[in-house]
Amino acid sequence: METITIKDIAKMCGVGVSTVSRAINDHPDINQETKNIVMQVIKENNYIPNNSARNLKRSDSRTIAVLIKGISNPFFSSMIKIFENEIQRKKYSFVLHRVEEQEDEIDVAVELVKEKRLRGIVFLGGHFTHTAEKLEQVKVPFVLSTIGVKENNLINKGFACVAVDDFKESYKMVDYLCKNGHKKIAIISSSISDESIGKRRLEGYKKALEDNHIFYNMNLVRTMREDIETYTMKNGYEVTKDLLESNEEFTAIYAISDSLAIGACRAIMEAGKNVPNDYSVAGFDGLEIGLYYNPSLTTIRQPVEEMAFETIKMLFDLINKKTTPDSKIFPAKLVIAESTRKI
Amino acid sequence: METITIKDIAKMCGVGVSTVSRAINDHPDINQETKNIVMQVIKENNYIPNNSARNLKRSDSRTIAVLIKGISNPFFSSMIKIFENEIQRKKYSFVLHRVEEQEDEIDVAVELVKEKRLRGIVFLGGHFTHTAEKLEQVKVPFVLSTIGVKENNLINKGFACVAVDDFKESYKMVDYLCKNGHKKIAIISSSISDESIGKRRLEGYKKALEDNHIFYNMNLVRTMREDIETYTMKNGYEVTKDLLESNEEFTAIYAISDSLAIGACRAIMEAGKNVPNDYSVAGFDGLEIGLYYNPSLTTIRQPVEEMAFETIKMLFDLINKKTTPDSKIFPAKLVIAESTRKI
């Protein structure tokens, strides 16, 4: 099939090439009727304007990468979808790059900046314990989005962050459980070595217990299994099955993500027990499935849309030098649903 | 912060630049101990080899785009994740591009091929009723993945397709419901104008009813609402609420996706009824959540991983001219779980 050129279109319309060009580029200096005819002919012949020279330049510079590490929490899918839309809307390209667990995301980022001549980066989720010196190797604007950062580490050092306060929000949930009479609250948390959101959420749990004068029982602290993908329903299911079989007493489970909480509910049901009559179950994130699950899930709802929009806004403000890096902490909401009860 | 050059590394190691280069490029002609020292110094100084000349060439040509139209079915998230991994593993870049509902994906593809000088394309999901002539405008190898294609249209015309037989699999589910005594089976389907998988699944439903001598009742054919995102839990929930309020009699609902089916279950429960005692509910896709939902969901499980791997394999075989375009139809599996029962 031969490729149609702008000359062919001009010929078919009986106008000059410059007129076709004006029609394509929405130039004001063209008769509306002529323009309509040209556009109609273009459409009928499936002609695609050849802007390769301009586009080459564009493809070299108008690219944003989103780097996501490991975790396949559906929470991130909603964010990625908004990133896609917003980046596309700004006529930039969007490259999604998954960083392997053992890779260093900063090294990957530095390499990608060179390869793709990126204009900006979003680091999404995952651990993040790099020093300021290391982060300074990234020579393009970037935003750390929903990444658990160590207190007094990055946030206060002038890097761009969008997040919730994982400590405070986790405290809110555990405090709610305590106030509803629960004294034996199990937690499904991340591994002890984790320095990211998992750790902050665990610290919130501990502090809430302490403030409610409840004994901190190490046997009720259950970490996700390392041989199963983390933050998944399957992981929550297996950990809860082990907990139930351990005969350790508890009245509530707080899982640090909704996916884990759903797995926990399923394990409880399969053991012939009821949520919330036998055990209350609470999650964290505010996934849509929590509303449709049976029972609907008590959770901490992160303002995922606002956070995603803010991430992109912040990134483009940095690219356009409209702002300097800053952190924005969003409040999350305790959503009380059917999966927890007063005892 | 100054950028470290290969010269700086050579100086620090007390070797020549060519030795550093050999170490980086894994050249056999270098002493192992020297290589170790060089790599150590490189690591300590966070030096990133500047391969920009080579990488420029790479970034121009080693890119695969995945075009996804409209639909935000979580089914696609699993596939995209595998695409990402596989494309990255082959040292290609992965660009995800969402095509708006009103856009023509072929036009978008043709434009992207020029802009990014793509090496290949995956068209994922969505409607697809283009003619062979139109498809031939795409000048790079491409695979149509899990796209409902019209019978005797594309599949038989030498385009690369990976899919399940939506007609046959849908028939399988409805036939199972019929054989379990259900005579009044509602379907949550796509709009009448839909020419893609939705239509094929609806046709399977009709044929199964016919073969089981069951009257086809138009009032039990419910289409997803157009004012709510399609294939979502919310859509299934609202459509089922309307169905329940219509007082039309039925004993089972077959939804053409698991997300829709979960919304249907929730609507039934909120009406004070039980799944499956009052109504059986069946889905299609085989999402992981179906296993953890309460009740667990009867569904048609598509072999999502195999299909995703095959899509990428097929694409790279085409790129490497190892094969000619062909279609591969995967069998799906009827999974009987707690949400349906014999009546």
Q: Which helix (H) or strand (E) holds A301?
A: strand A299-301
B148 against A334, higher pLDDT? A334
Average pLDDT, stretch A278-302? 97
Give A-chain residues touching B81 at CB under 8 angstroms.
72, 98
Q: How far apart are CA A285 and CA A293, in angstroms?
A: 14
Q: How far apart are CA B126 and CA B108, in angstroms?
A: 14
Give B-chain residues touching A234 at CB under 8 angstroms.
288
pLDDT band at A282 (very low <50, low <70, confident <90, very high): very high
CATH architecture assignment, domain B56-164+303-330: 3-Layer(aba) Sandwich (3.40)
Q: What is the DSSP letter of A147?
A: -
Q: How many angstroms separate the CA of residue B272 from the nearest CA in chain A?
A: 12
What is the per-residue pLDDT across B49-82, written as a single tens digit (0 to 9) for each? 654 333 334 444 588 988 887 656 778 878 888 8
Do residues B208 and B179 lie in contact, with contact meaning Cβ atoms separated by under 8 Å?
Answer: no
High-pLDDT (> 90) share of chain A, %: 49
Q: How many angstroms separate the CA of residue B214 from the nearest CA in chain A?
A: 32
Q: Which of B141, B94, B312 is nearest to A116 (CA)?
A: B94
Question: Which of A74, A88, A233 is closest, CB to CB, to B74?
Answer: A74
Which of A141-155, A157-171, A283-297, B181-195 is the most confident on average? A283-297
Q: How many angstroms separate the CA of residue A224 from the nearest CA in chain B?
A: 17
Is the confidence at residue A152, as pLDDT, over 60? no
Average pLDDT, stretch A257-272? 97
Q: How many angstroms separate the CA of residue A160 from the nearest CA in chain B?
A: 19
Q: Which of A331-340, B151-160, B228-237 has the lowest mean pLDDT?
A: B151-160
What is the per-residue pLDDT across B184-201, written as a single tens digit (0 to 9) for each? 999 999 877 776 778 889
CA distances from B157 to A58, B124, B130, B160 (A): 36, 19, 12, 9
Tell if the CB–CB gap between B137 and A46 is shorter than 8 Å.
Answer: yes
Q: Which of A90-104, A290-304, B277-291, B321-335 has the lowest mean pLDDT?
A: A90-104
Which pLDDT score, from 0 to 100, does residue A56 have? 37
Is the confidence at residue A305, as pLDDT, over 90? yes
Is the confidence at residue A55, as pLDDT, over 50? no
Which pLDDT score, from 0 to 100, does residue A72 have? 64
Substitution target from A89, A96, A124, A241 for chain B, most B beta carbons within 10 A: A96
pLDDT band at B1 (very low <50, low <70, confident <90, very high): very low
List of residues 6+ apart from A120 with CB closer than 8 A: A64, A65, A140, A141, A142, A143, A315, A316, A318, A319
Angle separating helix axes A74-89 and B74-89, nearest 10 degrees: 80
A3 against B77, higher pLDDT? B77
Tell if the CB–CB gap between A85 and B93 is shorter than 8 Å.
Answer: no
Do residues B143 and B122 lie in contact, with contact meaning Cβ atoms separated by under 8 Å?
Answer: yes
High-pLDDT (> 70) share of chain A, %: 87
Is the confidence at residue B93, as pLDDT, over 70? yes
Do residues B311 and B329 lie in contact, with contact meaning Cβ atoms separated by under 8 Å?
Answer: no
Domains B6-50 and B56-164+303-330 share a fold: no
Instruction: Please report the residues numbered 295 through 334 in chain B whose beta carbons come closer than 8 angstroms to any beta carbon of chain A.
Output: 295
Q: How far apart are CA B259 and CA B293, in angstroms?
A: 11
pLDDT band at A312 (very low <50, low <70, confident <90, very high): very high
Tell if the CB–CB gap between A59 and B262 is shorter than 8 Å.
Answer: no
Which pLDDT score, from 0 to 100, does residue A207 have? 97
Give A-chain residues touching B50 at CB under 8 angstroms.
114
Q: Which helix (H) or strand (E) holds A144?
A: strand A142-145
pLDDT band at A19 (very low <50, low <70, confident <90, very high): confident
The listed CATH number (3.90.1150.10, 3.40.50.2300, 1.10.730.10, 3.30.110.30) that belongs to domain A57-164+303-330: 3.40.50.2300
Give strand ranges (E) for chain B.
63-69, 93-99, 120-124, 142-145, 161-164, 185-189, 221-223, 252-255, 280-282, 299-301, 327-330, 333-335
What is the per-residue pLDDT across A179-199, written as a single tens digit (0 to 9) for each? 999 999 999 998 777 767 788
Angle at A148 between CA A147 and CA A152, to 5 degrees: 120
A278 against B139, higher pLDDT? A278
Angle separating helix axes A17-24 and A32-44, nearest 10 degrees: 90
pLDDT band at A126 (very low <50, low <70, confident <90, very high): low
Is the confidence at residue A50, as pLDDT, over 80? no
Q: Does B103 touch chain A (CB under 8 A)?
A: no
Is the confidence at residue A259, as pLDDT, over 90? yes
Which of A272-281, B118-127, B160-169 is the most confident on average? A272-281
What is the per-residue pLDDT across A232-249, written as a single tens digit (0 to 9) for each? 999 999 999 999 999 999
Q: How far apart are CA A189 and CA A284, in angstroms?
A: 11
What is the per-residue pLDDT across B144-187, written as a single tens digit (0 to 9) for each? 998 866 554 555 567 899 989 999 999 999 999 999 999 999 99
Q: Which of A63-72, A227-236, A310-319 has the lowest mean pLDDT?
A: A63-72
Which pLDDT score, from 0 to 100, does residue B50 have? 52
Indicate the domain borders of chain A.
6-50, 57-164+303-330, 167-302
User: In the CATH scheme, what is the code of domain B167-302?
Assistant: 3.40.50.2300
User: In the CATH scheme, what is the code of domain A6-50?
Assistant: 1.10.260.40
Is the confidence at residue A230, as pLDDT, over 80? yes
Residue of chain A whose Cα is closest to the Cα of B259: A289
pLDDT band at B94 (very low <50, low <70, confident <90, very high): confident
Question: Which of B72, B98, B288 is closest, CB to CB, to A233?
Answer: B288
